[in-house]
Structure 1
Amino acid sequence: MPDLPTRFAGLILAFMPLFVHRSWRHAQVLLIGAILTPGQRTVTSVLRIMGRSQDRRFVNLHRILNRAAWCPRTGGHILLRLLIDAFVPRGPVVLGIDDTIERRGGKRIAAKGIYRDPVRSSDSHFVKASGLRWMSLMLLAPIPWAQRIWALPFLTALVPSERACREQGRRHKPLLDVGRQLALQARRWLPGRDLVLVGDSGFSALNFLDAMRRGRITAITRLRLDAALYEPAPPRPPGTIGRPRTKGARLPTLAATLAAQDTLWHRLTVPGWYGSAPCSIEVTSGTAVWRHGGLPVVPIRGVLVRDPENRFPPQALLCTDLTRDASQILSWFVRRWSVEVTFQDVRAHLGVETQRQWSDTAIARTTPCLLALFSIVTLLAARLPARQRRSLATAAWYPKPRPTFADKLAAVRCATPRERSSATFRADASVQSPAYAR
């Protein structure tokens, strides 16, 4: 077991209540080894990088994932508390929610399905992928030394395919139901904070938005330009018989508002729109009631956005908090782009899609742990001296103005000592990270 710096030990020991004493020793090896390991994040790779490739009781580390009694949800609660204390001690807590496909094959993976690959597909080209679908809830927080917003995962759940649920005789839980449960779980963990949930157009559903409104969570998503919007229901006169009205007069669609000549537009400068530099856009906003037959009625504030330079097509956003202005809604919505960056980083640097577990329990635990490892590395980097946090891995052909997650991972690795014999070091030289090449 490596001797951790004092600044790291306190954070890692926060997860000790999840395990009994014997399991905790093995869990530490997995956690630190997953940080140090380059390439595939298999248990055997962790054993090699930790200098335990000759340990005859290697099966104990496998059992942490497929048999040991510990609760990943409780670990997500501990991680969220650490993230809040480090990056959002006050003010609204902005959360991002999105799903991703982990491309995996194998007959023994029961929960896999065939989905549209959002990375390889486009509007005119459809690509299918076989794998596991995950729903992840992330904290969208400003990282001071990175000078940008990072999406920090803390709670991830597996969404089995409909076919897998049918074969196992279980009720299929749709994607929006899983997202609703994750968001309401965060609400229970943070009862006294203002929560803002940002999602893509897949979460623009009346049932989901109504659940967020009743759970005191401000939801921000995209809105269809042809959505049926109405004025609020007029006051009910005394003595009126029958069911109360839920809507007033029909309002023009957002597409008609976009084409109207008398629409009042306001110019705003939004930082980081579509990952670019701050750009100037034109917006108009208003309140309405979104209604569809047989579904809940949700009051919303709609924001219509257009680009004077036609860099992107017009689009609309909605917010379930009617008191928020357009600039605040846009500043929260643009944080969502960091979610895709996190998904890319965990695949490139933390080995997501390279693990090789086959049991259902290990599959349900490993990917959420690797996603949470992104947040743990960020917390460890926050405890480094300022000089190490500002270090950049630059090249003559690749100038880098701000540190990235790869830089922070290398800094954490360099600050984590390892106890290895020279014989083990020579045997494992082929798997060393470039950060350790001296």
Structure 2
Amino acid sequence: MQLLVVGALLSPGKRTVTAALRVLGLADDPRFGTFHRLLSRARWSSLQASRVLLNLLLKTFVPSGPLVLGLDDTIERRTGSKISAKGIYRDPVRSSHGHFVKASGLRWLSLMLLTPIPWAHRVWACPFLTALVPSQRYNEQRGRQHKTLTDWARQMLRVVQRWCPGRKLIVVADSAYAVIGWLSDLQQGQPITVITRLRLDAALYDPAPERAAGQMGRPRLKGDRLPTLASLIHDPETRWERVRLRRWYGETNREVEIVSQTAVWYHNGLPPLPLRWVLIRDPQGKFSTQALLCTDLLLSPVQILEYFVQRWQLEVTFEEVRAHLGVETQRQWSDLAIARTTPALLGLFSLVTLMAHERWQGHEPWVRHAAWYDKTLPTFVDALAEVR
């Protein structure tokens, strides 16, 4: 296993077992089949490996305090009749609001630790737990109950909560996880704070009034209906507050205008969800007005914005592992090998970060320069070069 890890780090192209053996000078090793069986047959737990990796990340970067986690899914484009768990999904990279592009492949749901990296002077998203989300057709053909993306997300977050008792979890996710039932489930027991986008036409209400003494009938679930967030955008009585954020998407010290309030999000047949909503407007007019929700009513609007902006680092990590760690170049056909290889390659991103951090404790990081690109802070490419 150690040889496979070293080979995956050193391989310049495809991340196959044979490529890892060649880069280590083991192309003539007659035991090459043993390396393949480590992924397709050997008995070891990817879940336990994820727990070990998370403990290393927490010990190094977040020894105390709340854990900020990023939750997002990605499509690994794979074709072939032997890739049984694949499905047809919307391609989030090539699609737009007016153009729909489909992609055939495997859907992965990844949970990443969002933590500041001292030598990078920014927040990185370090993957530690990734699960394969099989398509509905795959489950139907095998007589299994289909689990949606939010079902997998709920299970993964509860697993992390058991691994880290006593630590508060703050999860940032995109609009796919703005689901009342899912958000309400995460507030049961030890609550998990979720920050995600909110529809501008969401049905928001005042909290239910207190029940009067001797009142008959079922207790109310909600109060009076509130105006939609879309109507507040053009309401001249809306009082916008201008705040300055330390970090925005590719910018620093960015000014935005916000308005925030608490409410209850309710839909027939679903439990009422207390939340804090934040409406964001750009005084420069570079992006359209949008809304966020947070299930923790005590977080300030500025804290909610600063947490949510970190979500962009998940997309950066997905791009880095495709460009430099060979995700989508592996060629396993066995179901077990497929379920193990992609999470391992994503975990290599965190492993490289930990190893580079250990090496750069005693001296300044070395940053690669080019005549056409003057870079002052190290990126993942520099960390990978240091580890190699």
Q: 1:13-37 CA deviation, whole Å, 9 max, x = no partner? A: xxxxxxxxxxxxxx11111111111
Q: Does the residue aligned with 1:33 lie in a helix, a strand or coil?
A: helix
Structure 2 counterpart of 1:83, one-letter code? L
Of 288, 294, 300, the residue aligned with 2:269 is 294
- Indicate whether 1:259 and 2:222 are aligned: no
Structure 1 counterpart of 2:123, one-letter code? I
* Structure 2 partner of 1:108: 82
Q: 1:295-318 CA deviation, whole Å, 9 max, x = no partner? A: 121100000100011010000001
Quick one: distance in 2 between partners of 1:275 and 1:314? 18
Quick one: distance in 1 between partners of 2:381 and 2:257? 36
More helix by percentage: 1
Tell me the TM-score normalised to structure 1 length. Answer: 0.87
Quick one: distance in 2 between partners of 1:59 and 1:294? 55
Instruction: Tell which deviates more after alignment, 39-48 or 213-222.
Output: 213-222
CA contact (8 A) 1:225 1:254 kept: yes
* Structure 2 partner of 1:325: 300
* Structure 2 partner of 1:370: 345
* Structure 2 partner of 1:186: 160
CA contact (8 A) 1:95 1:198 kept: yes
* Structure 2 partner of 1:79: 53
Instruction: Tell which deviates more after alignment, 84-93 or 40-49.
Output: 84-93
Tell me the TM-score normalised to structure 2 length. Answer: 0.98
Q: 1:137-158 CA deviation, whole Å, 9 max, x = no partner? A: 0000000111111000000000
* Structure 1 partner of 2:96: 122
CA contact (8 A) 2:247 2:306 kept: no
Quick one: distance in 2 between partners of 1:200 and 1:233? 28
CA contact (8 A) 1:227 1:254 kept: yes
CA contact (8 A) 1:219 1:319 kept: yes
* Structure 2 partner of 1:338: 313
Structure 2 counterpart of 1:146, one-letter code? A
Q: 1:372-393 CA deviation, whole Å, 9 max, x = no partner? A: 1100000001100347662111
* Structure 2 partner of 1:152: 126
Instruction: Give every structure 1 segment of 4 or more consecutive aligned residues whose post-TM-superposition deviation is greater than 6 Å.
Output: none
Matches within 5 A, 1:198-237: 198-214=172-188, 215-237=190-212
Quick one: distance in 2 between partners of 1:120 and 1:266? 36
Q: 1:320-344 CA deviation, whole Å, 9 max, x = no partner? A: 0001110111111100000000000
CA contact (8 A) 2:133 2:149 kept: yes
Q: 1:187-241 CA deviation, whole Å, 9 max, x = no partner? A: 1111111110000000000011112222411100000111000000000112222
Q: 1:270-293 CA deviation, whole Å, 9 max, x = no partner? A: 233223333100111100000000
Quick one: distance in 1 between partners of 2:50 and 2:97? 35
Q: 1:139-178 CA deviation, whole Å, 9 max, x = no partner? A: 0000011111100000000001111111122111111111
* Structure 2 partner of 1:356: 331
Q: Does the residue aligned with 1:332 lie in a helix, a strand or coil?
A: helix
Quick one: distance in 2 between partners of 1:90 and 1:267? 32
CA contact (8 A) 1:96 1:339 kept: yes
Q: How many residues align?
A: 387
Shift of 1:410: 0.4
Q: Which runs of 5+ in 1 are unaligned?
A: 1-26, 414-438
Quick one: distance in 2 between partners of 1:374 and 1:345? 8
Shift of 1:243: 1.5
Q: Does the residue aligned with 1:278 lie in a helix, a strand or coil?
A: strand
- Indicate whether 1:411 and 2:386 are aligned: yes
Structure 2 counterpart of 1:46, one-letter code? A
CA contact (8 A) 1:198 1:220 kept: yes
Of 34, 39, 42, the residue aligned with 1:60 is 34
Shift in alpha-carbon separation, 1:124–1:288, aligned structure 2, 3 A:
same
CA contact (8 A) 1:382 1:389 kept: no
Quick one: distance in 1 between partners of 2:14 and 2:223? 58
Quick one: distance in 2 between partners of 1:100 and 1:49? 29
* Structure 1 partner of 2:287: 312
Quick one: distance in 1 between partners of 2:356 and 2:120? 11
Structure 2 counterpart of 1:212, one-letter code? L
CA contact (8 A) 1:275 1:337 kept: no
Quick one: distance in 2 between partners of 1:276 and 1:292? 37
Of 13, 16, 23, the residue aligned with 1:49 is 23
Q: 1:124-145 CA deviation, whole Å, 9 max, x = no partner? A: 2211110000000000000011
Shift of 1:351: 0.3
CA contact (8 A) 1:389 1:408 kept: no
